[in-house]
Amino acid sequence: MAQPSIACIAFVAKDDHPLHVTVFPPFRESRLRFLILINSCLDILDLRTRNTFIDQDLGLLQALDERLAVYGWLTNTGVKILVIVDLAGRHIDGTGQKKNITPVTGMKHSDLKPAFRALQTAYIGLLQNPFYNPDDQNESSRIETTSDTPMGINDKKFVTEVKRIGDMWSPSLTII
């Protein structure tokens, strides 16, 4: 059984437009699919916030199929962090071909908390940067980018940190 891996990380503004989206291999060509999935999860998140008192950790928002699941986190400022987890993992054998892997049937509620805390810390670090202007991102987040580049926030340190967290995360980690 393979360990799950992160397929996509998205930061969504309080007014529900994507601030930043990073897609990890082997899903680089699935950016549009993930954007649609993120938008559908925003509807679920909106329903949860209207009907109940919620904590920062929103847990499982939606399971797309046997392989992909979306988990959410809400910051104090209303920015939503969504992580799409590939339950089959991305382990590759020596020949470069993907092994026939059975997806994990579930994850513990607390498995993603270290990743969410690290992502929130990276976002706070971005906001503390005196050269970063969040108002400038509204225009650039709507610009179409290639499938290899992250969409939205293009601060080099932030993008690198998000990629590091996405590549490094596994369910057994307690600190990232």
Is residue 96 in some structural domain?
no
Stretch 126-136: mean pLDDT, rounded? 83
User: Residue 100: inside a domain, yes or no?
Assistant: no
- CATH number at 31 reads 3.30.450.70
Whether residue 146 is contained in a domain is answered as yes
Whole-angstrom CA distances from 80 to 29, 84, 91, 104, 151 are: 23, 13, 29, 25, 16
What was the pLDDT predicted at 111? 85
In a domain, 176, yes or no: no
Q: Is the pLDDT of residue 129 over 70?
A: yes
Those residues with Cβ within 8 angstroms of residue 75's Cβ, 6 or more apart along the chain or in another chain: 56, 81, 120, 123
Higher pLDDT, 114 or 26: 114
Query: What pLDDT shows up at residue 25?
Result: 85
Number of domains in the chain: 1
Predicted TM-score of the model (pTM) = 0.82
Select from 175, 44, 172 the least CA-distant residue to 107. Answer: 172
Domain range for 35 is 3-91+105-168
Report pLDDT digits (tens) over 15-62. Answer: 888 999 999 988 878 788 888 889 999 988 888 777 666 667 778 888
User: Does any domain span residue 162?
Assistant: yes
Quick one: pLDDT at residue 122? 95
- At residue 174, φ and ψ (nearest 5 deg) are -105, -20
- Asked if residue 26 is part of any domain, the answer here is yes
Count other Cβ atoms within 10 Å, centred on residue 116. 24
Query: Does any domain span residue 37?
Result: yes
- Which pLDDT does position 88 carry in this prediction? 84
- Reading the block at residue 50, the tokens are 């209207």
pLDDT of 61-100, one tens digit each? Answer: 888 888 889 999 888 888 999 999 988 876 544 444 445 5
Answer whether residue 175 is part of any domain.
no
Q: What is the structure's pLDDT at 81?
A: 93
Distance CA 18, CA 7 (A): 16
pLDDT 10s digits, 3-24: 889 999 999 998 888 999 999 9
